Structure 1
Amino acid sequence: MYLSDITLLLLCGSISGFLAGLLGIGGGMILVPFMILVFNHLGFQQELIVHMAIATGMATILFTTSSAIWAHHKHSSIDWKLVAALSPGMVVGGLVGGSKIFEAINTSWLSLFFAIFIVYSAVQMILNKKPTAGRNLPGPIGLFLFGLCVGMLASLVGAGGAFITVPFMLWCNVKPHTAMASSSGLGFPIAAAATIGYMYGSWGLPNLPAGSLGYVYAPAVACIVIVSIFTAPIGAKMARKLDVVQLKRIFGVMLFCLAAFMFNESRKAFGF
């Protein structure tokens, strides 16, 4: 990689790690547009770039969430029983989505789906509308099915699932701070399962660049992780001090800009 590419990835890694700790998100989703720029600059095959950007972004969540999890765990913020109950479904969903569905979707539709999900996430961030607590958590089967759906969706967009799991937990009477912290704990099993699925489903594909583990581009993961593991604990610490609502709105506006970029990528892939 060129020095400019490494610098961009290091900067993005520091931001994604901070946001992982601050907002309970995996951070992989915001990396995708920037990795598309890097992969284009490196001359990767066009039909592989979006898939590789999403898979590589998801792989980084393994490390950013690990750091954020430890920071939240030290303050006893994570409901580990809830994480354990939701994780099996998420693992199955991540494996199936990452290995089967992800590989089957072509670049144009994947770009469009990703852009739509970013818009949804941006609206959630800006409105910061918390669902009214209206029920208790469902039983084991209900939690498994919910986790299954979240795992499959997250594997398609390279996200840790917090944009879905946090509103769900709040609706089920989980305390806001516990829901935010627990979403970090849930990001790890989703990321692990989806990353394994990506690599398994794409292993041996032609035209993959050197340094790739299937769709996961290892050099980019290394650049991002080397800084994100240090900034994630900072974000977790600041979450207890800053006006997170205002930060969410600023982040939401940034997501709209990233969505515009991805809609443009989708337009080019469709040939419009």
Structure 2
Amino acid sequence: MEHMNDPAWLAGLAAAMALTGLLSGTLAGLLGVGGGIVIVPVLFMVFPFFGVDEAVQMKLAVGTSLATIIPTSLQSARKHRMKGAMDEALLRGIWPSMAVGVLLGTVLAIFVRGPVHSAIFAVVALAVAVNMGFTAVDHKIRDSFPTGIARQGLGGFIGAVSAMMGIGGGTVGVPILSMFGTPIRAAVATASVFGIIISIPATIGMIYGGWGDPRVPPFSLGYVNMIGFALIVPASLIATPWGVHLAHSIPPLLLKRAFAVFLGITSVRMIWSVIG
């Protein structure tokens, strides 16, 4: 905790968090991922410098990431909706099961041990990276998103995995939507709303689940660290429109490959931390 009394160190941390926010905001608009796929591993590496107990580092990274996703997803979804690319009928049909999945994923994020939590993050990120990196932009297993129980099951899966990983829903939602015939730009736009459905209840859950935990650092509400939140959010909001513009400007195949590269880097980092 003594690091927090060093003005030079705090200035360096502020700069690092601002850069993280710019990158995560750009990715939120570009890929519909809410930035969490970048924020979680960065915070996971930064929190040890605060002297945070290893047992709660991943929980704090996930909780803080979920909190930062709220304003970024709101802005990203609004801008994508203005461009008319969202599948609003799908959103109306899938959000109840996704909300149930978020509840389950939040409970797991609170109670699963740190190394197991990190390993789950790494494996899911790597699986999505492989899918997005080695399939064609029009790769799909059917022409339309399933209905009925299958739709609700997919919604629950997206919600649970995303809440547990501290991501906005696009990391899992975009490839799933793409595989079921949704054009990549429409998938990104629709997944931006997933971030809202996931981040708000999951953040509340992480605050409640970590309330009173003596291992969390100062300036935290449960498992949400307010220092990270305050530094990342403004930069993310500035950069999100940049990503939205890119998403509607660059070739779709390049969009998928960029998604895969970012996820691959993230998963390798997390696997290395677990092995270490």
TM-score of the alignment, normalized to the shorter chain, above 0.5? yes
1:235 matches 2:240? no
Please give the alpha-carbon distance, in whole angstroms, between the structure 1 residues aligned to 2:123 and 2:176: 20
Q: Judge conservation of contact 1:93–1:151 (CA < 8 Å) in 2.
A: yes
* Correspondence for 2:27 among 19, 31, 36: 19
1:162 matches 2:142? no
Distance 1:133 1:247, change over 3 A: closer
Shift of 1:248: 4.0
1:119 matches 2:102? no
Shift of 1:236: 0.6
Q: After alignment, is 219-228 or 239-248 more displaced?
A: 239-248
Shift of 1:137: 3.3
RMSD: 2.0
1:189 matches 2:197? yes
Aligned counterparts, 1:40-119, within 5 A:
40-98=48-106, 100-119=107-126
- SS of 1:221's partner is helix
Q: Judge conservation of contact 1:122–1:253 (CA < 8 Å) in 2.
A: yes
Q: Judge conservation of contact 2:206–2:222 (CA < 8 Å) in 1.
A: yes
Please give the alpha-carbon distance, in whole angstroms, between the structure 1 residues aligned to 2:261 and 2:183: 26
Shift of 1:18: 0.7
1:267 matches 2:275? yes
Q: Judge conservation of contact 2:185–2:252 (CA < 8 Å) in 1.
A: no
Please give the alpha-carbon distance, in whole angstroms, between the structure 2 residues aligned to 1:79 and 1:229: 24
- SS of 2:92's partner is helix
Q: Judge conservation of contact 1:59–1:216 (CA < 8 Å) in 2.
A: yes
TM-score, with structure 2 as normaliser: 0.88
Aligned counterparts, 1:132-147, within 5 A:
132=140, 134-147=142-155
Partner of 2:187: 179
| Count of matched residue pairs | 267
Please give the alpha-carbon distance, in whole angstroms, between the structure 1 residues aligned to 2:91 and 2:259: 26
Shift of 1:250: 4.2
Distance 1:45 1:13, change over 3 A: same
Please give the alpha-carbon distance, in whole angstroms, between the structure 1 residues aligned to 2:259 and 2:181: 26
- SS of 1:241's partner is coil
Q: Judge conservation of contact 1:126–1:253 (CA < 8 Å) in 2.
A: yes
Please give the alpha-carbon distance, in whole angstroms, between the structure 1 residues aligned to 2:31 and 2:158: 18
Distance 1:228 1:108, change over 3 A: same
Structure 2: give runs of 5+ residues left out of the alignment: 5-9
Partner of 1:256: 264
Q: 2:110 is aligned with what amino acid?
A: E
Please give the alpha-carbon distance, in whole angstroms, between the structure 1 residues aligned to 2:79 and 2:204: 25
Q: Deviations over 1:171-205 (max 9, x none)?
A: 44434322221011111111112212212222221
Q: Deviations over 1:123-164 (max 9, x none)?
A: 133224343252533335443332112111111111222233
Q: 1:237 is aligned with what amino acid?
A: H
Distance 1:242 1:175, change over 3 A: closer
Please give the alpha-carbon distance, in whole angstroms, between the structure 1 residues aligned to 2:259 and 2:185: 19
Please give the alpha-carbon distance, in whole angstroms, between the structure 1 residues aligned to 2:177 and 2:81: 18
Please give the alpha-carbon distance, in whole angstroms, between the structure 1 residues aligned to 2:157 and 2:129: 21
Shift of 1:26: 1.6
Q: Judge conservation of contact 1:115–1:260 (CA < 8 Å) in 2.
A: yes
- SS of 1:159's partner is coil
Q: Judge conservation of contact 1:71–1:237 (CA < 8 Å) in 2.
A: no
